[in-house]
């Protein structure tokens, strides 16, 4: 189970500040990276800025209680600080003012996901998509939550829809490839991850997973090339060194 605060940060947030989408390191075994996320802790200065942001947005809601954007930004600031109950309340206040605000539904879904309320998160994302069917971010986030619920077919569909809207959505391709691998559809996993490399030639986690997939398929040369590419990009990547050594010993 992903810790709630890190889960919240890992999902895509529509706001004035958007955090990167990073996936956790895998184990050294011949398995694919699981769908989990990690972002580093805040520095003291960043934390202080969040406190300032909250004060500013709270003041904005007091000045104009009919401004949904002020409540949305307040919710985002609360969410980044891990105050998810307050974030949910702020997003709900925004939706009371503007019930057809897709961005706020997306952010509400993120807050629910952070609380571990995955069914509520799914409903919120679906509402965002109902308002804006081309909301790529909501499709992507829906895929993450479905994946964490073990509903892989639904997650795959969500990622495919995100890619249909934005063919260059790197992380949607990446997560889709991982899911294909988890389902044992290795050829689909490989071809999907190769698309990631075309979009982002230095996507280190994709090279690592391609190395694992090729190794599982017995394609030693391709596996070694992919893992060597990982080490070329990040010479300190201990897992790639270990898996590369395992491959050489096994074959």
Q: Distances in Å between the alpha carbon of 114 and those of 1, 48, 69, 145, 175? A: 11, 22, 21, 10, 19
- pLDDT for 249: 81
- In this chain, the answer to whether the domains covering 4-189 and 201-251 adopt an identical fold is yes
- Indicate the SS3 state at residue 13: coil
Low-confidence ranges of the chain (pLDDT < 50): 1-10, 12-42, 44-45, 47
Tokens for 144? 């993450």
Q: What is the DSSP secondary-structure string of 209-247?
A: HHHHHHHHTT-HHHHHHHHHHHHHH-TT-HHHHHHHHHH
Distance CA 88, CA 107 (A): 9
- What is 201-251's CATH topology? 1.25.40
- pLDDT for 195: 97
- Indicate the SS3 state at residue 106: helix
Q: Where are the domains of the chain?
A: 4-189, 201-251
- What is 4-189's CATH topology? 1.25.40
- pLDDT for 250: 75
- pLDDT for 118: 95
Residues 6+ apart with CB under 8 A from 85: 115
Gyration radius (Cα) of the chain, Å: 20
- pLDDT for 48: 58
Query: Angle between the 118-131 and 102-115 helix axes, to the nearest 10 degrees?
Result: 170
């Amino acid at each position: 189970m992903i810790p709630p605060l890190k889960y919240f940060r890992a999902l895509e947030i529509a706001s004035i500040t958007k955090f990167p989408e990073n996936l956790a390191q895998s184990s050294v075994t011949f398995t694919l990276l699981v769908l989990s996320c990690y972002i580093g802790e805040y520095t003291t200065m960043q934390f202080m800025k969040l406190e300032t942001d909250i004060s500013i947005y709270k003041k904005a809601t007091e000045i104009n209680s009919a401004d949904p954007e002020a409540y949305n930004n307040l919710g985002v600031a609360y969410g980044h600080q891990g105050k998810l109950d307050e974030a949910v309340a702020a997003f709900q206040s925004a939706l009371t003012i503007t019930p057809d605000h897709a961005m706020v539904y997306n952010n509400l879904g993120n807050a629910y996901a952070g609380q571990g309320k995955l069914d509520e998160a799914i409903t919120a994302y679906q509402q965002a998509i109902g308002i804006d069917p081309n909301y790529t971010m909501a499709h992507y986030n829906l895929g993450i939550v479905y994946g964490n619920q073990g509903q892989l077919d639904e997650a795959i569909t969500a990622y495919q829809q995100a890619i249909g809207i934005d063919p260059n959505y790197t992380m949607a391709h990446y997560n889709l490839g991982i899911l294909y691998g988890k389902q044992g559809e290795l050829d689909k996993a490989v071809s999907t991850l190769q698309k990631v490399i075309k979009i982002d030639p230095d996507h280190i986690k994709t090279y690592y997973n391609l190395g694992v997939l090729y190794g599982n398929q017995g394609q030693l040369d391709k596996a070694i090339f992919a893992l060597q590419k990982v080490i070329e990009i990040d010479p300190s990547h201990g897992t790639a060194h270990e898996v590369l050594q395992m491959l050489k010993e096994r074959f």
